[in-house]
Amino acid sequence: MDEAKCLEISIYGYQPSSFCDYPHKSASVFFTAGCNMNCSYCHNVNIMNSGRVLTYEEVYSCIRHAVTNKLSDAIVVSGGEPTLQGDKLKHFLRFIKEACNKSVKLDTNGTNYGLLKEILEEKLVDFVAMDVKGRFDDYEKFCYNSNPDHLYKTVDLILKSGVKHEFRCTVGHEFDKKDFHFINSYFPDIKLQQYRSAS
């Protein structure tokens, strides 16, 4: 594996240890830059808007720490939206998988069906968490205007992948009765999270 390729990914943050990002595991968490949606409740927006992206040297240092960190038994790649990194994300995940025996989890909003399919087929992750914002045909309120069929395809892909997974939803002020009905009908076992404003 070409070590240099794994450093090309745009990372804006690293959390050495977390107990809430991987179910039943402690994890080191990487936060990738950029997102193709605009959610009012995003808890990472301040870091993403800072314009600060880690240097190659900093990314390498964080990778080494995550791989050797004895206080965590998993690694999570979150965002932003990690799949916007394209092949750089695949190189990053592949390097981590080859460098250690830790479980690897990917957080995604499900909008990049094609890349997620490749990641799952190449067995680059052990767990996928997909954020469901509300009913798929009303994602315009999150500034996502593509065909909602992609989201349904991604859900089906995850369900049939054999990889451990979780669908989760943050209940923000944009939520309405139609969203609740959609979630209850399509994702009866979804993990609901109540948005709590810092103000």
The tens digit of pLDDT for each residue in 16-36 reads 999 999 999 999 999 999 888
Tokens of 17: 């240890």
DSSP 8-state class, residue 140: G
52-69: pLDDT as tens digits: 789 999 999 999 999 999
Helices (H) and strands (E) in the chain, counts: 7, 7
Do the Cβ atoms of 88 and 75 come closer than 8 Å? Answer: no
Q: How many CA within 13 A on the CB side of residue 10?
A: 16
69-125: pLDDT as tens digits: 999 999 999 998 999 999 999 999 999 999 999 999 999 999 999 999 999 999 999
Q: Would you place residue 198 in the very low, low, confident or very high pLDDT band (cuts 50, 70, 90)?
A: very low
Cα distances (angstroms) measured from residue 26 to each of 11, 100, 155, 168, 173: 20, 15, 26, 19, 31
CA dihedral of residues 99, 100, 103, 104 (deg, nearest 10): -20
Residue 47 has pLDDT above 80, yes or no: no
- What is the pLDDT, as a whole number, of residue 50? 58
For the chain, domains (ranges, CATH) are 3-194 (3.20.20.70)
Tokens of 4: 């240099």
Handedness of CA 94, 149, 171, 43 (dihedral sign): positive
Burial of residue 24 (number of CB atoms within 10 Å: 0-12, 13-18, 19+): exposed
Percentage with pLDDT > 70 across the chain:
90
pTM for the predicted model, two decimal places: 0.91
Place of tokens 């450093």: 7
Place of tokens 């892909």: 157
Do the Cβ atoms of 144 and 37 come closer than 8 Å? Answer: yes
In whole angstroms, what is the distance from residue 174 CA to residue 3 CA?
42
For residue 20, which of 191, 188, 174, 190 has the smallest C-alpha distance?
Answer: 191
